[in-house]
Structure 1
């Protein structure tokens, strides 16, 4: 007779918009501040989350501050666990530049030919991001089975999580649009994923 086990539910939230950086600028793993003035969106997210969840973030401050701002809407006291494996992609020497400025870098041609597998100078490929994020998700699934896990992270991280849940290649995962203060929900039943929503 089989026994039903509760799924491990992952609630992926992209951090609040970064402050003082123009659109199209690559901030990657730079530790920049975020704008938390959109309290309507913060409250909306809090209303979608369970009170008894485990909270995790990357090691960058914009994810930690966003997590605390969401929890504050419900007066929850949280102590998020920070994982460096959940950081945004490292764009190396391209960080702080704009995408338009990359036209001046000879290395950008190979990047645009294969953005999923090409490493920016002194950075990492998106395929490498997928590998480290998958390793962290597997760790969380083993350590906290059957729990609700709120993960406040980055667009690249959430695309990598979606790649694992949906069995997407890194190249196809890059096609997903992940907005700031959006939520994506994935549930893990033993070794089977169920995807409830992406970028809601």
Structure 2
């Protein structure tokens, strides 16, 4: 399959700018400010991303800040307020763990952890949700937007957990395996969707790049 086929829908996932305002506390689905001072990375993103794309963010302000900073670095953003905002693409909620110091939580045996994530994929912290729950809400949004914006470029500024969930869906791998992906702040992950065609009766996802740094 030619990844540049005119039938392809291309998702450009960007993890938001880093959060340095929480003093090392877990923020998960919270809404702290991001640090958008890395001008070089934003210029790299502005040069890498395709023009005439559909833009999507989550409801959390760090994704809006990141999108705005890419625009300030030279990318011609769509008219203000016209990007899609998808609550169900927000980060995993860690419930009662949010606001607690990371080192304190990591030192406890309160719950089962994953080596590369705060909790095991099936574990929901008190008052929160599991990574499997996150996957369950991200997948329908990805499928819906892929249908709505077929054959377009979709740029989505989201979160580390969200992007791992999108990879799990595309690759049809267990949630626990998706947590092995490293997704850095301001990195780009591209996942293409190829529809069914005459010689290919089933649609297919193709992972083109993961965790690409823009500078």
TM-score calculated relative to the size of structure 2? 0.85
Match of residue 199 from structure 2:
none
For the structure 1 residues 75 and 127, does the alpha-carbon distance in structure 2 shift closer, same or farther, using more than 3 Å as the test?
A: closer
Shift of the alpha carbon at 1:77?
3.2
State the alpha-carbon separation in 1 of the partners of residues 41 and 137 from structure 2.
29
Provide the residue aligned with 2:200 in structure 1: none
Q: Judging changes above 3 Å, is the alpha-carbon distance between structure 1 residues 106 and 154 closer, same or farther for their aligned structure 2 residues?
A: same
Give the match for residue 162 of structure 1.
167
1:111-150 superposed matches below 5 A: 111=113, 115-150=120-155
The correspondence of residues 69-88 of structure 1 with structure 2, limited to 5 A, is 69-78=69-78, 79-88=82-91
Q: Of Structure 1 and Structure 2, which has the larger fraction of its residues in helix?
A: 1
Give the superposition deviation at 1:142.
1.0
- Residues in 2 aligned to 1:34 and 1:88: alpha-carbon distance in whole angstroms: 14
The match for 2:58 is: 58
Q: Report if the CA contact (8 A) 1:160-1:170 is conserved.
A: yes
| Pairs aligned (count) | 195
Asked if 2 retains the 8 angstrom alpha-carbon contact of 1:5 and 1:189, the reply is: no
Query: How many angstroms apart in 2 are the aligned matches of 1:166 and 1:143?
Result: 21
TM-score under structure 1 length normalisation: 0.91
Query: What is the RMSD of the two structures over their aligned residues, measured on CA atoms?
Result: 1.8
Structure 2, unpaired ranges of 5+: 196-202
The answer to whether the Cα contact below 8 Å between 1:111 and 1:120 also exists between their aligned partners in 2 is no
3-state SS in 2 of match to 1:199:
strand
Q: Distance in 2 between matches of 1:17 and 1:89?
A: 16
